[in-house]
Amino acid sequence: MLERQGVTVSRNVNSETEYVIKDRDKINIGRFEIVNLDKQNKKCDVNLKFYRNDEYELLKETLNLILKATFKNGIINKVNIFAIDIICLSSFLDLGFVLEGVFYNNIYSQGVHNNEISMGICREDYNNPKKNTFVELYSHDIMMKLLTPEDAEKLLNYYVLNKEHLSSFEPSRDVSFYSIDIQRNILNDSYRQFLSGTAMDFGIFKADKLIGKLRISNIVEGIFKSAVLGYSIDKEHQGNGYMKESVKLATEYAFEELNLHRLEASALTKNIKSQRVLLSCGFKELGLNEKYLFINGKWRDHKTYYIINRK
């Protein structure tokens, strides 16, 4: 039996490969099964069922126990854990796991189809943990952080509350968009884009409330070192300078951390507020992009702006 503060793991007496997870009160909080122990390739596949998907500490302790036991003899170099996608992703990321795959509608539980995710980690990354893959940016009034599938409900609420407001500035969406499963799928995809280095989706938070979104997309390295900036904000938080703060934080991060040379952003020709935000953050007007985005049944013209890293 393996044990850490608050969590114990013991083998199921009826199985050679399945283990039961219990909390400090000896209540069953999950189970996992070793479904593939490949000594030739030095890897191990684990199916994990955790019944308290929002319990960060308990899940992190469980994962620590699994990894400690698996890596201790030096035979296994890679562990892949498969779990439902509503599980607390932070527990995995804080230990150095990487999201390696999303299998859509792969789990059927309690009459509902859910996605399955694959989280992977190597022994070296576990023993020598790297800096947290979360990105958090702070100013005096707001905080920006990388959105993960755990933020699906907050993002859904943001879109529902601002459905009419955002429809004037963003491409139209069908009814299916306003569901937590769709939002979780979107955030799974965006997190994979972050890992591949092509895009980053930030949530803008004010006192723990999601009040806006900012996306750095089309990240291109090599001789271009450029990206595209897009953003939106809650209708109730307009006019307080939060969007300006967010664009400044994102620009600094893009230039100082991502080492980009150029950022580009576009705003509807009638969206004077957004144009003022860009100009106040040092962007310069490049010109008119005719029929740039399809919004409310019509191709809309946008003004495009750019800023260059002068350092």
DSSP string, 135-203: -EEE-SS-EEEE--GGGHHHHHHHHHHTHHHHTTTS----GGGSSHHHHHHHHHHHHHHHHHTS-EEEE
- CATH superfamily, domain 2-127, is Gcn5-related N-acetyltransferase (GNAT) (3.40.630.30)
Task: Answer yes or no: is pLDDT of 102 > 90.
Answer: no
- How much of the chain exceeds pLDDT 90, in percent? 63
Q: How confident is the model at residue 180 (pLDDT cuts 50, 70, 90)?
A: confident
Give the model's pLDDT for residue 73: 86
Rounded to whole angstroms, how far apart are CA atoms 98 and 187? 15
Q: Is 86 helix (H, G, I), strand (E, B) or coil?
A: coil
With contact defined as beta carbons under 8 Å apart, do 231 and 212 qualify?
yes
For CA atoms 55, 57, 58, 61, the dihedral sign is positive
Give the model's pLDDT for residue 87: 87
Give the model's pLDDT for residue 193: 86
Task: Answer yes or no: is pLDDT of 117 > 70.
Answer: yes
Task: Answer yes or no: is pLDDT of 31 > 70.
Answer: yes
Largest CA distance in the chain: 70
Residue ranges of the chain that CATH labels 3.40.630.30: 2-127, 136-308
Phi-psi region of 208 (alpha: psi -120 to 50; beta: other; left: phi over 0): left
Task: Answer yes or no: is pLDDT of 128 > 60.
Answer: yes
Considering the segment(s) 136-308 as one domain, its CATH architecture is 3-Layer(aba) Sandwich (3.40)
Alpha carbon 139 to chain centroid distance? 21
- Reported as a single tens digit per residue, the pLDDT across 216-267 is 999 999 999 999 999 999 999 999 999 999 999 999 999 999 999 999 999 9
- Reported as a single tens digit per residue, the pLDDT across 69-90 is 999 888 999 999 999 988 888 8
Q: How confident is the model at residue 112 (pLDDT cuts 50, 70, 90)?
A: confident
Give the model's pLDDT for residue 115: 87
Sheet with 18-23, edge to edge strand ranges? 2-4, 7-11, 18-23, 28-38, 43-50, 78-84, 112-122, 98-109
- How much of the chain exceeds pLDDT 70, in percent? 96
With contact defined as beta carbons under 8 Å apart, do 21 and 31 qualify?
yes
| Whole-prediction pTM | 0.76
Query: Which residues on neighbouring strands pair with residue 38, listed in sequence order?
Result: 43
Average pLDDT of span 296-311: 93
Give the model's pLDDT for residue 5: 62
| Nearest in space to 201 (alpha carbons), one of 165, 240, 232 | 232
Q: Is 279 helix (H, G, I), strand (E, B) or coil?
A: helix
Give the model's pLDDT for residue 4: 57
> Mean of the per-residue pLDDT values for the chain?
91
- In the numeric block, the tokens 């036991």 are attached to 69
